[in-house]
């Protein structure tokens, strides 16, 4: 199992733990039918209390990802598809898994620049720049453009999961996404603590759709392949 993240986030601790375990299921680190360690030992390994762990396991049980057997223990019960908040986040630590979080660098609503592909119905979009982490490891910088026809966002409206933000703040859900992975160079706004501007890196372009024709979001992610892998699984 992955180590519990040390940095605090907007999600309650027990939800963070549940998401961490769910990503371990999605990455194959926890297998269908696998028996989890006893709760006290597991809590010690994850550096949390037994009470917090039990709340996290209850979340997994509610999602249909855990089966409790009286007198025997807790067993992983894998569904057909991923069940976590970060199910569409395809970057993983080299060792597998890792709980995503994001530091917001900048949020602005702008006229779409000429270098963006066509998407959405408006000539304006909210641009969000973030540095991405898995547990405590910085693995990527990203730039998301949300078409203003879907609504506009401010910095104080954001959470680590933008798709949850879209649902809670703007009333829509991203139903599918298409990724195009290649090689790129770190953009000129890359924080110095992350890497050298212009350095070669992995590069992902993503188009996202909601419950209507046409993509409503376009994003660009520059990731360090020495720290993270892009992973896509067929289930």
| Whether residue 9 has pLDDT greater than 90 | no
Question: What proportion of the chain, given as a percentage, has pLDDT over 90?
Answer: 61
- Domain extent listing, the chain: 13-76, 88-233
Topology (CATH level 3) of domain 88-233: Chorismate lyase (3.40.1410)
pLDDT at 84: 67
Contact by Cβ (8 Å): 109, 152? yes
- For tokens 């790129």, name the residue: 184
The average pLDDT across 190-211 equals 96
Instruction: Report which of residues 11 and 32 the model is more confident about.
Output: 32
Helix intervals (H) in 27-176 = 39-45, 50-62, 162-165
* pLDDT tens-digit series, residues 145-184: 999 999 999 999 998 788 878 988 999 888 889 999 999 9
**Class (C level, CATH) for 13-76:** mainly alpha
d(CA 65, CA 75): 9
Radius of gyration of the chain (CA): 19
Q: What percent of the chain has pLDDT over 70?
A: 90
């Amino acid at each position: 199992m992955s180590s519990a993240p040390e940095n605090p986030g907007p999600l309650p601790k027990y939800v963070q733990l549940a998401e961490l375990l769910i990503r371990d299921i999605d990455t194959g680190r926890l297998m269908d039918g696998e028996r989890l360690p006893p709760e006290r030992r597991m809590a010690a390994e994850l550096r949390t209390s037994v009470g917090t762990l039990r709340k996290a396991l209850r979340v997994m049980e509610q999602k249909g990802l855990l089966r409790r057997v009286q007198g025997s223990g807790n067993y992983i019960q894998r569904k057909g598809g991923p069940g976590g908040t970060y199910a569409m986040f395809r970057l993983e630590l080299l060792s597998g898994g890792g709980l995503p979080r994001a530091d917001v660098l900048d949020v602005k609503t702008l006229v779409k620049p000429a270098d963006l592909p066509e998407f959405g119905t408006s000539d304006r979009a909210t641009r969000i720049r973030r540095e991405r982490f898995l547990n405590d490891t910085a693995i990527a910088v990203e730039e998301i453009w949300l078409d203003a026809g879907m609504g506009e966002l401010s910095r104080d409206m954001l959470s680590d999961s933008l798709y949850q933000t879209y649902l809670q703040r703007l009333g829509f859900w991203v139903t599918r996404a298409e990724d195009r992975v290649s090689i790129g160079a770190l953009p000129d706004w890359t924080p110095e603590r992350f890497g050298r501007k212009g350095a070669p890196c992995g590069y992902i372009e993503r188009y996202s759709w909601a419950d209507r024709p046409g993509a409503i979001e376009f994003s660009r992610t520059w990731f360090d392949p020495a720290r993270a892998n892009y992973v896509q699984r067929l289930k």
